[in-house]
Structure 1
Amino acid sequence: MPGPAPNLLGVVLCGGASKRMGRDKAALTTHQGHSFLEHACRRLQAHCQVVCVSSSSERDTDVQRIPDPPDSHGPISGIHASLSFARDHGFDACVFTPVDTPSITSTDLQTLIDVFANHRDQVVCAVSDQTPDHIEPLIAIYPVTLFDVIDQSIDDGQYSPRRLLRSLPIITVPLSAASCRNINTPSDLDPHSPQP
């Protein structure tokens, strides 16, 4: 008989500078008229009682912000700060999604959560079904027990989440290439059609 469901903190990673896009990706809108940030938060709220935004700056949202540290080293700093927050508030793990992956579905997130429920000591990480060797370290569930490992990685000057995950026992979950696709430039906007 399975144990109790894990207590998960949903986190939208929203700390990038959006340089290639030329404007804040969090403020881009889906075909349904929601900002990418609103869309990402709603997706996570279907699975997590608490959802936060990991960001280097204040956001126009009622969702709690977990600030990136002043000496941020990219996404790993957001993951680190979020795991610290989760650990301090009694969560078992963080479910991460980037703000710029609007086509991840609720079903995709549930698939990751179902796998994590049976492997709570490991990172459960998405991979594209078209490139299964290319892990998606920002579409993943990280247990709070890895906080010290990530802390040490940052202390050692190793800031790549993908490289870090290659050194850890992880479980990969294939998702569609469309779900894993991130929006980086204006030309990426046309073909996407995020799910509600």
Structure 2
Amino acid sequence: MILGVVLCGGKSTRMGQDKAGLVHEGRTWLQIMTGLLFACGVDQVSYAGRPDLPSGFSDRFPGIGPLGGLLTSIETAPANTHCLVVVPVDMPCLSVICLRELVETCCLSMVPVHFQPTPLPLALPLRAASRAAITSAAHAAVKSGGYSLKRLLHGLGGIELPDPGGNILQNLNSPEDLAILPRN
């Protein structure tokens, strides 16, 4: 099974409102990211940091950013999950083509995959041995206070795909960032 996870438990302080509920072209960012995950071939989608949503769950490691959501996602993923695809809710310009490339590369190589220069979105192999190694490395990062997802991925090795360019990997964190959204 391929499990998709939307990281959507942040405080959205710079945006001034919950980013998951922002609307672009008639859909919320949460709906956009969920649709992208299903379109790239995931079998199920969960929502990290949003226990109020169906298939949502609380972050077991609150306050440490995406690493906490990722670690909780790994620990709560069903045992039959062989690939975990993680996207942030604040990347509404992301494309299905990019996500498919992540999933395909991860499933073929069985190593973590993300795009340069950002750690998200990412795909992680979750077969037994890789799940144990990734979970152990993530717990060690949390314990040491090193909450950098990028540093964790660097330590795990894996594949960094080339930056697809444009605004595809742009996190939209403030009202000023909204200017890059395409208008139809």
User: Are positions 1:51 and 2:64 aligned together?
Assistant: no
Tell me how far apart the structure 2 counterparts of residues 108 and 154 of structure 1 sit (CA, whole Å): 29
Which amino acid is the alignment partner of residue 51 of structure 1? V
Tell me how far apart the structure 2 counterparts of residues 69 and 98 of structure 1 sit (CA, whole Å): 17
Tell me how far apart the structure 1 counterparts of residues 92 and 183 of structure 2 sit (CA, whole Å): 5
- For 1:130, the equivalent position in structure 2 comes to none
- For 1:67, the equivalent position in structure 2 comes to 58
Tell me how far apart the structure 2 counterparts of residues 24 and 177 of structure 1 sit (CA, whole Å): 25
Deviations 1:2-37 (A, max 9, x none): xxxxx2110001121111111111111112x10000
Q: Which runs of 4+ in 1 moved over 4 A?
A: none
> Would the aligned equivalents of 2:2 and 2:83 in 1 still touch at CA under 8 Å?
yes
- For 2:125, the equivalent position in structure 1 comes to 143
Flag the structure with higher strand content: 1
CA RMSD of superposed structures (Å): 1.8
Tell me how far 1:151 sits from its aligned partner. 1.6
Tell me how far apart the structure 2 counterparts of residues 15 and 71 of structure 1 sit (CA, whole Å): 9
- For 1:30, the equivalent position in structure 2 comes to 24
Q: Residue 162 of structure 1 aligns to a residue in which SS?
A: helix
**Matched residue pairs, number?**
176
Deviations 1:110-142 (A, max 9, x none): 11111112211x210112xxxxxx2x2121012
TM-score normalised by length of structure 1: 0.83
Query: Which runs of 5 or more residues in structure 2 are unaligned?
Result: none
Tell me how far apart the structure 2 counterparts of residues 17 and 141 of structure 1 sit (CA, whole Å): 24
State, as a whole percentage, how many aligned pairs show the same letter. Answer: 30
Which amino acid is the alignment partner of residue 119 of structure 2? P
> Would the aligned equivalents of 1:102 and 1:194 in 2 still touch at CA under 8 Å?
no
